[in-house]
């Protein structure tokens, strides 16, 4: 996940591409190309953003936990799935409005949930939430 992208892009087998001509919602204006030089540049753009993106989920359930991340500290509770998602989105730098849309709630409701997470972690900001979550082995 990345906070923003410069274009909407569809690549098919690195031989065909469609690129948005605007980032406005609801617009269908796009450029279709099979031109190899343009495909190469668009593929490079995609690869760079992909490499820089953060994982959407803070927990990879397909892999075993690292030895120092084996479980909660001192019998503390495990994070909820929503808390894990919030922390992952914080780490990716996603803004509150975008997180609220993803969760299907209003920005005000999301901010209340964020405040509840901060209270649970004993902090007042995203950075502190990340540090506290790491200390609890939530990440």
| Domain annotation for the chain: domains and CATH numbers | 9-52 (no CATH), 67-135 (1.10.10.10)
Instruction: At 63, list the tokens.
Output: 């892999």
**pLDDT at residue 56 in the model:** 63
**Is a pLDDT exceeding 80 seen at residue 68?**
no
Question: What CA–CA distance (Å, rounded) separates 129 from 121?
Answer: 6
Q: Minimum mean pLDDT among 61-65, 89-93, 107-111, 121-125: which range?
A: 61-65
Across all residues in the chain, what is the average pLDDT?
82
User: Among the residues of 4-103, which ranges form H helices?
Assistant: 36-52, 81-91, 96-103
Q: What is the pLDDT of residue 93?
A: 87
Query: Which of these, 99, 95, 118, lies nearest to 110 by C-alpha position?
Result: 99
pLDDT for 35: 96
Sheet containing strand 16-20, strands side by side: 9-12, 16-20, 30-33
Pairing of strands 9-12, 16-20: antiparallel
Global confidence as pTM: 0.48
- Return all residues near 85 (Cβ < 8 A) that are at least 6 apart: 56, 57, 58, 103
pLDDT at 107 over 90: yes
How far from 56 is each of 19, 81, 85, CA to CA, in Å?
Answer: 24, 12, 7
- Measured in degrees and rounded to the nearest 5, phi and psi for residue 10 equal -125, 125
70 or 129, which is more confident: 129
The mean-pLDDT minimum among 16-20, 30-34, 62-66 falls in 62-66
> Lowest-confidence range among 8-17, 60-69, 81-90?
60-69
């Amino acid at each position: 996940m990345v906070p923003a992208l410069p274009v909407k892009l569809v690549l098919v087998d690195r031989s065909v591409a469609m690129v948005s001509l605007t980032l406005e919602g609801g617009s269908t204006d796009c450029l279709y190309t099979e031109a190899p030089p343009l495909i190469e540049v668009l593929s490079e753009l995609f690869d760079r953003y992909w490499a820089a993106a953060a994982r959407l989920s803070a927990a990879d359930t397909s892999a075993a936990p690292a030895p120092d991340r084996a479980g909660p500290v001192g019998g503390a509770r495990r994070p909820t799935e929503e808390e894990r998602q919030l922390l992952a989105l914080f780490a990716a730098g996603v803004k509150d409005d975008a997180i609220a849309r993803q969760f299907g709630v209003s920005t005000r409701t999301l901010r209340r949930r964020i405040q509840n997470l901060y209270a649970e972690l004993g902090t007042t900001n995203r950075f502190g939430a990340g540090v506290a979550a790491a200390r609890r082995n939530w990440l």
